[in-house]
């Protein structure tokens, strides 16, 4: 006679659904960022072939933007995404990627680049804020000490990005757009826009590296959380 209780069966069903949702998320992330990479590759051909050196930092920054979106989304998916499927979170992925792709077409136009990247940073800011709501709704699912440690780390990173990192990114990209738009003789003719993109490049490198460290820090907690779910099946 089966000793499976309704609660145990529901838990097993949710575990299976969590796996399905994670698979959907990872596939979606890879597809949309693959499309973004295709846009960047098309935009980069002319600057690279014709040795337009001024555009190269923009191309490299664009590649970092794609890697950051892909890696951060992967970390979020492994850390807290599960059933039920969160459509708002997914729709924001599409919206942010649309702005990202538009920005990646402008590697040869600093004015359009900084303006669109200010909008893109604002979209990512909204995505972090939305995900914070998702995490808080799922807080009861983090029951063990390792899961609570993972939850605390997720909340800490979400708040850091909402309060500091994304507002600073929006402000800097917006200021850079204003500088280039208002003073083209200095920032375009005088090539001071290269300083602005160099600062963006440095920020992007640091942010990408921070994401790598974030996953390393969470590895054991994520493994234990998934092992706990499998053990309760």
Q: Enter the DSSP assignment of 163.
A: I
Whether the pLDDT of residue 229 is over 70: the answer is: no
Question: Where does the chain have alpha helices with state H?
Answer: 6-49, 56-80, 87-104, 110-137, 145-160, 166-182, 184-187, 193-231
Q: Alpha-carbon distance 201 to 216, whole Å?
A: 23
Question: Where does 161-192 have alpha helices with state H?
Answer: 166-182, 184-187
* pLDDT one-digit tens code per residue, 98-141: 999 999 999 999 999 999 999 999 999 999 999 999 999 989 88
Closest CA to 153 of 227, 81, 217: 217
Q: Alpha-carbon distance 55 to 77, whole Å?
A: 33
* pLDDT one-digit tens code per residue, 132-174: 999 999 898 898 999 999 999 999 999 999 999 999 999 999 9
**Mean pLDDT (whole number) for 45-71:** 97
HSE (side-chain half, CA atoms, 13 Å) at 156: 9
Place of tokens 């930092």: 57
pLDDT reported for residue 9: 77
pLDDT reported for residue 230: 63
Cβ contact 68:121 at 8 Å? no
Sign of CA pseudo-dihedral 138, 141, 143, 149: negative
Angle 63-69-72 from CA coordinates, rounded to 5°: 130
Among the residue ranges 11-20, 64-73, 101-110, the one predicted with the least confidence is 11-20
């Amino acid at each position: 006679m089966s000793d499976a209780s309704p609660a145990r069966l529901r838990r097993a069903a949710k575990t299976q659904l969590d796996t399905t949702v994670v698979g959907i998320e990872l596939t979606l992330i890879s597809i949309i960022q693959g499309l973004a990479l295709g846009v960047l590759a098309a935009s980069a051909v002319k600057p690279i072939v014709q040795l337009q050196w001024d555009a190269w930092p923009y191309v490299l920054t664009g590649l970092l933007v794609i890697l950051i979106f892909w890696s951060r989304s992967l970390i979020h998916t492994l850390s807290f995404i599960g059933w039920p499927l969160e459509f708002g979170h997914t729709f924001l992925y599409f919206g942010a990627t649309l702005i990202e792709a538009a920005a990646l077409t402008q590697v040869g136009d600093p004015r359009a680049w900084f303006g669109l990247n200010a909008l893109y940073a604002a979209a990512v800011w909204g995505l972090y804020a939305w995900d914070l709501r998702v995490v808080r709704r799922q807080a009861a699912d983090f029951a063990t000490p390792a899961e609570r440690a993972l939850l605390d780390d997720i909340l800490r990173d979400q708040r850091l990005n909402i309060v500091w990192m994304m507002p600073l990114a929006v402000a800097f990209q917006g200021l850079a757009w204003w500088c280039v738009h208002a003073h083209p003789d200095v920032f375009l003719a005088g090539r001071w826009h290269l300083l602005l993109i160099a600062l963006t490049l440095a920020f992007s490198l640091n942010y990408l590296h921070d994401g790598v460290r974030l996953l390393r820090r969470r590895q054991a907690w994520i493994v234990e959380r998934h092992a706990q779910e499998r053990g309760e099946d």
